[in-house]
């Protein structure tokens, strides 16, 4: 049989693999008969029987059928939902290995994708907390519950197949896994999900059907502050149409706050659209309607649907490293591009003469301006503009020339027109912050026309996941 025909073997074959490494997005890598095999939930050093379900000429995708010899570094995940919800895909790796692989992924991005040399690549900055570290967690209701093997054998009454409260199955917008507890969310989440689920089933309040766009209950959002201990809960629904919906609202208004006296703010918000984005018109049931976080001496007021970094336990060190990389001084001008709500802008503004922040989201800029006023920071101006469009360049051309630019773009990276403008302005220093080292390395390759990457700092903002933040310090030649 020719090699070409061998590579056209039918899928669902079984092969023995020894896992060699972890690739991008945390997928394990093995090689068999000259073909790279990608296997989810495997650990380097595992010897497994794998079931191949996709096979191309140069690679195959497989799932673990049996672990023959577990890797010596493999650990038991703490969460019973590991491997199903898809959230914490590295819970089977010890923390020291997670940090090593995150550093390796940053190195691979710069070496293989960007082909950019790094002056210094530091060790990954570990998070002070590795469990219950998220200050925002969004849970979903679903009318199509993802059934585990055990639940498949239950009757309708036991499994509640048309109702779930938990997390979406990866790749399935319509399927929700019923979650008992989440080990990266606030500690209150397990008890809260239990009580809300019980009440909803008692009153017969329906879960939202994402395919047919009807149903009452949509999301439970838990937000908290590490500095103040405040906890906000938002229950997001569609407008009520049934008596069970009205009973659920009455329970939220009168019973729910008493069950959880530690909550400082409780909000019922209504989403009148078919959009899956968890936003709505808020109605305050209890509290002020916001929480306050304090980072590097700056108070940030966080409203129900505004963006804020999700690991506050790591945030102060993360921001400190960004500001240190910028090497700011009191007579300088700083541009903060993709500034969000000003989490970098406002602490940095204390150290320079002038600061300018640009961001696409109107809501984020409103929060940034309010927080600047709240903290008496007057040397900063914020602009609402899409940095990927020509109008943004017109704004930038009117600003004072920067001595340093901090860039913190979305995962897709920086648009080429903005990169060209940065090269034209060419301040002495750039700091490029990214949640995607691959696009960061790609963009740094373009900036290498005038800049050297003197240092890159990986930061673990999301323990037990493959995600890594990366701070690149660039100096103009």
Catalytic residues: 435
Question: Does residue 136 contact residue 300 with C-beta atoms inside 8 Å?
Answer: no
- Helix residue ranges per DSSP H, 121-222: 149-152, 156-159, 189-203
Pairing, β 265-270 against β 281-286: antiparallel
**Token pair belonging to 385:** 């503009």
DSSP-derived 3-state class of residue 81: coil
Task: List strand residue ranges (DSSP E) for 171-297, in order.
Answer: 176-178, 217-224, 231-237, 265-270, 281-286, 291-295
Q: DSSP string of 276-339?
A: -S---EEEEEES-S-EEEEETTEEEEE-TT----S-HHHHHHHHHHHHHHHT--TT-EEEEES-
Query: How far is it, in rounded angstroms, from Cα 162 to Cα 475?
Result: 57
Query: How far is it, in rounded angstroms, from Cα 445 to Cα 443?
Result: 5
Q: Which secondary-structure segment (H or E) carries 381?
A: strand 380-384
Axis crossing angle, helix 416-425 with helix 437-447, rounded to the nearest 10: 40
**Token pair belonging to 75:** 């650990």
């Amino acid at each position: 049989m020719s090699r070409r025909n061998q590579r056209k073997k039918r899928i669902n074959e079984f092969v023995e693999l020894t896992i060699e490494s972890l690739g991008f997005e945390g997928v394990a890598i093995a090689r068999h008969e000259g073909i790279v095999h990608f296997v989810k939930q495997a650990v380097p050093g595992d010897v497994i029987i794998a079931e191949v379900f996709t096979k191309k000429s140069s690679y195959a995708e497989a799932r673990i059928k049996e672990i023959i010899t577990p890797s010596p570094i493999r650990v038991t995940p703490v969460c019973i939902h590991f491997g199903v919800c898809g959230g914490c895909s590295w819970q089977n790796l010890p923390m020291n290995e997670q940090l090593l692989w995150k550093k390796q992924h940053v190195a691979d991005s710069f070496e293989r994708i960007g082909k950019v040399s790094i002056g210094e690549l530091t060790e990954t900055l570990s998070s002070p907390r590795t469990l219950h570290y998220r200050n925002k967690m969004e849970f979903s209701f679903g009318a199509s519950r993802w059934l585990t093997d055990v639940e498949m054998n239950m009757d309708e009454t036991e499994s509640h197949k048309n109702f779930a409260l938990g997390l979406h199955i990866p790749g399935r917008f319509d399927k929700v896994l019923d979650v008992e507890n989440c080990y990266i969310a606030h500690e209150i989440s397990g008890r809260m999900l239990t009580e809300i689920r019980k009440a909803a089933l008692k009153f017969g309040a329906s879960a939202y059907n994402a395919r047919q766009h009807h149903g009452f209950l949509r999301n439970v959002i838990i937000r908290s502050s590490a500095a103040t201990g405040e906890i906000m809960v938002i229950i997001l629904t569609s407008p009520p149409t049934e008596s069970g919906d009205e009973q659920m609202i009455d329970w939220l208004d009168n019973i729910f706050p008493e069950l959880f006296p530690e909550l400082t703010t409780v909000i019922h918000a209504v989403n009148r659209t078919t959009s899956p984005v968890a936003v709505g018109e808020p109605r305050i049931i209890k509290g002020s309607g916001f929480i306050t976080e304090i980072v590097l001496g700056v108070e940030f007021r966080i409203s129900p649907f505004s963006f804020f970094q999700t690991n506050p336990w790591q945030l102060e060190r993360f921001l400190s490293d960004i500001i240190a990389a910028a090497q700011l001084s009191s007579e300088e001008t700083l541009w903060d591009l993709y500034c969000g709500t000003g989490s970098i802008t406002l602490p940095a503004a204390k150290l320079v003469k002038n600061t300018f922040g640009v961001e696409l989201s109107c809501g984020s800029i409103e929060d940034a301006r309010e927080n600047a006023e709240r903290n008496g920071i007057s040397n900063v101006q914020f602009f609402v503009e899409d940095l990927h469009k020509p109008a943004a360049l017109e704004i930038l051309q009117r600003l004072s020339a920067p001595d340093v630019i901090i860039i913190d773009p979305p995962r897709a990276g920086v648009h080429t027109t903005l990169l060209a403008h940065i090269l034209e302005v060419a301040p002495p220093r750039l700091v490029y912050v990214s949640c995607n080292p691959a696009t960061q390395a790609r963009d740094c390759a373009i900036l290498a026309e005038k800049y050297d990457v003197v240092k890159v700092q990986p930061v673990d903002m999301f323990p037990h996941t493959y995600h890594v933040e990366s701070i690149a310090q660039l100096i103009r030649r």
